[in-house]
Amino acid sequence: MTKLLQTWRWYGPNDPVSLQDVKQAGATGIVTALHHIPHGEIWPIADIQERKAIIEAAGLTWEVVESVPVHEAIKTRRPGADKYLANYNVSLQNLAECGIRTVCYNFMPVLDWTRTQLDLEMSDGSKALYFNWTDLAVFDLYILEREGASADYQPAILAKAKSRFESMDKDALDELRINVLMGIPNEKEIELEALRASINEYKAIGFDGLRDNLTWFLNGIAETCTQNGIKMTIHPDDPPYPILGLPRIASNKDDLLYIKNSVDQAFNGFCYCTGSLGAGMDNQLVDIFEAVKERIYFLHLRNVTKDEEGNFYEADHLGGDVNMYEVMKAVTAENAKRQSPMPFRPDHGHQMLDDLNKVTNPGYSAIGRLRGLAELRGLEMGITGQ
């Protein structure tokens, strides 16, 4: 039986976690992207080759691109989208020419991910990422001041948000604003007025319109992907429900099946993220995997613990609400049928031990992910015997 391919997300030469750290953690493959290239611009072959050479010089391989960002012009299909679609095709072709053919991307409007706290302290003193509906409502109602926002929250949440806002000082409000906006790609600053404008643009597009735009995008790259053997893997929404008035179209089994069937070609696949999908109150993780498993080309394995309101924090990889044992059984059974192993990475990890004193990308400190990778490797071996 072929083992899963163990990979590690690396943010490039400026990542405080080095490639030597990655090797010591036990991963063999790298998941990275050219973050210095502005969104929508072509990824030059020279830049791809330079990054690949750095990785290979460390004795590792570049297995997955995460991600080639989809420009907002494509997601909204505003004027100029054709240019960005053409650029995307050239970037994909350049990656394939360099031997990199698995690409992770998302189709989330504006925000790639959303958390309201980046340092929730666990009982053991480690720190985790956290999403809280009351805090999001504080941001939405009192910082962003989105028109009509109150209609999107339960009365109990609105009451708690009002009380919490009244107890927060300027520093606390600034921290909340920074945390929520951390999900803006490239970590760039965005004015709240620009965010309001984007939200209004997506309000006009709506759920069905965003679906149509994804189908247009997939049809627009289908020939390039098929000719070059590229596998596209869409990442589920994080979190998997509408927030701030923005539509979400990759949040549950029905969404993934729609995406699969909308452009029913082999290149059109999924990144199976147990953390993002696991944050959905009604999502059944193994059922979702079984529904689309033949199109799953990349795995993010992490865990979350939810409460009755739907607030969640990122738990230990083998803790939380996601039954990782059942997930791993399904994953290894599918992997055994494949000629090439499925790449997975330990997604996120607690900030712990020596990393508590370091500045790292949220969720991407070294030691918490090392622990997660070790636990997942052990779980796989316990199931497969190898």
For the segment 23-67, what is each residue's pLDDT rounded down to a tens digit? 999 999 999 999 999 999 999 999 999 999 999 999 999 999 998
Annotation marks residue 300 as catalytic: yes
> In this predicted model, what pLDDT tens digit does every residue of 209-221 receive, in sequence order?
999 999 999 999 9
Residue 105 phi/psi, 5° resolution? -150, 170
Tokens matching residue 59: 């004795």
Does residue 369 carry a pLDDT above 80?
A: yes
CA distance 127 to 148: 34
Annotation marks residue 39 as catalytic: no
- Cα–Cα distance list, 50 to 63, 228, 267 (Å): 15, 21, 26
Average confidence score pLDDT of the chain = 96
Tokens matching residue 252: 């549950």
Tokens matching residue 79: 């004027």
Give me the catalytic one of 104, 348, 350, 355. 348
Annotation marks residue 348 as catalytic: yes
> In this predicted model, what pLDDT tens digit does every residue of 175-193 receive, in sequence order?
999 999 988 775 455 678 8
Annotation marks residue 273 as catalytic: yes
* Mean pLDDT on 363-379: 96
Burial 245-270 (b: 16+ CB within 10 A, else e): bbbbbbbbbebbeebbeebeeebbbb
pLDDT the model gives residue 187: 46
pLDDT the model gives residue 183: 82
Does residue 109 carry a pLDDT above 50?
A: yes
pLDDT the model gives residue 189: 57
CA 299: distance to chain centroid? 11
Q: How many Cα atoms within 13 Å fall on the side-chain side of residue 222?
A: 14
pLDDT the model gives residue 188: 53
pTM of the model: 0.96
CB 121 within 8 A of CB 355: no
Does residue 343 carry a pLDDT above 60?
A: yes
Give me the catalytic one of 135, 273, 316, 350. 273
Give me the catalytic one of 71, 300, 317, 350. 300
pLDDT the model gives residue 184: 77
Does residue 91 carry a pLDDT above 80?
A: yes
pLDDT the model gives residue 191: 79
Domains of the chain plus CATH, in order, are 5-113+191-384 (3.20.20.150)
> In this predicted model, what pLDDT tens digit does every residue of 219-262 receive, in sequence order?
999 999 999 999 999 999 999 999 999 999 999 999 999 999 99
CA distance 292 to 272: 9
- Cα–Cα distance list, 58 to 51, 61, 63, 346 (Å): 11, 9, 14, 20
Give me the catalytic one of 130, 347, 350, 355. 347
DSSP reduced 3-state for 358: coil
